[in-house]
């Protein structure tokens, strides 16, 4: 059955269990999507930047008042093992004598082989072979206040955001070596292996090297520059008296406010969405 959300929408929804925010099926260059960026996601979940709210001079040059005090957080660098979509099962594969890991497209010296599969219609695996950098601002209220103050001007100046809403990015997770495998339909699988470092079997962590083996569908890779795989932020969209994008169900903290229209435009409601379920816990994950 064809899902009208497309792979990008399915991926976004199924990766929410990791609680890092909005998952991007096509990781966006950090130069275009960074903490403080203002922009929107179109119907294909592609990011379109508009303005850097962390750049006071650029904001003033665009004719807007500055954002309130922004407190940047220190960088937090970590390693991710494979992150799988909801409903994806993980099975250890027994390596038979004389066959070994090479039968799965993996080097002969891997320590273990895992198979990811789904009984349902969609599955995905995200692997970051390099460090994942978590960074952003400690407070999102200045962004929300600024969006409320400038909603009328933003909707008037950028017609596309009337349909898609507009987002202020407050936190990102990014890497420079990203691999994603996503599939539709049952009876698909992905095989990966890992080599243990000095940490040993009891600590599959930073000393572990993950390797990709056979899969029912191909891997997409982004290795050219720092790119964002998850982000959080604040989004506003026109409500019932104007065009409105369907809410991201499950995000917490939804609210709304009214904007006064011009002579030929009625007053309209603007809905607020806070991207990322666990904003208060981001720094502790």
- Write out the E strands in 121-241: 122-128, 132-136, 166-175, 178-184, 188-195, 209-215, 220-222, 227-238
CA 265/CA 258 separation, integer angstroms: 13
The domain tally of the chain equals 1
pTM, whole model, 2 decimals? 0.83
Q: Is 44 contained in some domain?
A: yes
Task: Dig out the tokens for 57 from the structure.
Answer: 């001079």
Is the Cβ–Cβ distance between 238 and 256 less than 8 Å?
no
| Separation between Cα atoms, residue 204 and residue 224, nearest integer Å | 27
Residue 201 lies in a domain: yes
pLDDT in tens, 62-89: 999 999 999 999 899 999 889 999 988 8
Within-domain flag for 63: yes
Q: Is the pLDDT of residue 221 over 80?
A: yes
Residue pair 210/197 in contact (Cβ under 8 Å)? The answer is: no
Give the per-residue pLDDT at 246. 35
Whether residue 43 has pLDDT greater than 70: yes
Q: Which of 194, 244, 229, 277 is nearest to 27 (CA)?
A: 229
Please report whether residue 180 resides in a domain.
yes
Q: How confident is the model at residue 33 (pLDDT cuts 50, 70, 90)?
A: very high
Question: In which domain, by residue range, is 219 found?
Answer: 6-284
Asked whether 256 and 234 are in contact (CB, 8 A), the reply is: no
Q: How many angstroms separate the CA atoms of 280 and 284, rounded?
A: 9
- Nearby residues of 240 by Cβ (< 8 Å), 6 or more positions away: 269
Tokens of 116: 């990811």
| 238 occurs within a structural domain | yes
- Stretch (H or E) spanning 268: strand 268-275
Position 1 in a domain: no
Residue 65 lies inside a defined structural domain of this protein: yes
Residue 93's pLDDT is what?
78
CA 273 to chain centre: 15
Q: What is the pLDDT of residue 48?
A: 97
Evaluate whether 213 touches 193 at the Cβ level (below 8 Å).
yes
Within a domain: residue 73? yes
Q: Decide: helix, strand or coil at residue 255.
A: strand
Q: For 91-145, how does the pLDDT look when each residue is reduced to its tens digit (9 = 90+)?
A: 887 766 555 677 677 777 787 888 888 887 899 999 999 999 999 999 989 999 9
């Amino acid at each position: 059955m064809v899902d009208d959300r497309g792979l990008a929408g399915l991926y976004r929804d199924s990766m929410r269990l990791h609680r890092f925010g909005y998952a991007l099926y096509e990781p966006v260059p950090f130069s275009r999507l960074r903490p403080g960026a203002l922009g929107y996601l179109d119907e294909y979940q592609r990011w379109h930047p508009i303005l850097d709210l962390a750049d006071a001079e650029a904001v003033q040059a665009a004719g807007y008042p500055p954002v309130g005090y922004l407190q940047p957080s220190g960088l937090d660098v970590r390693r991710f093992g494979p992150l799988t979509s909801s409903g994806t099962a993980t099975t250890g594969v027994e390596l038979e004598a004389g066959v070994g890991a090479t039968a799965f497209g993996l080097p002969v010296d891997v320590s273990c082989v895992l198979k990811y599969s789904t009984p349902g219609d969609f599955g995905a695996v995200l692997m970051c072979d390099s460090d994942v950098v978590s960074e952003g601002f400690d407070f999102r209220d200045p962004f929300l206040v600024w969006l409320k103050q400038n909603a009328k001007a933003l909707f008037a100046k950028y017609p596309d955001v009337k349909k898609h809403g507009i987002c202020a990015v407050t936190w990102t997770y990014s890497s420079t070596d990203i691999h994603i495998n996503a599939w539709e339909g049952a009876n698909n699988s992905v095989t990966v292996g890992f080599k243990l470092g000095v940490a040993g079997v009891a600590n599959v962590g930073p000393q572990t090297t993950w390797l990709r083996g056979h899969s029912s569908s191909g891997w997409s890779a982004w290795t050219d520059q720092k790119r964002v795989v998850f982000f959080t932020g604040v989004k506003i969209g026109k409500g019932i008296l104007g065009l409105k994008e369907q809410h991201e169900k499950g995000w917490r903290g939804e609210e709304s406010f009214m904007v006064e229209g011009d002579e030929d435009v009625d007053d309209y409601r603007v809905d607020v969405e806070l991207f990322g379920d666990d904003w208060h816990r981001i720094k502790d994950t």
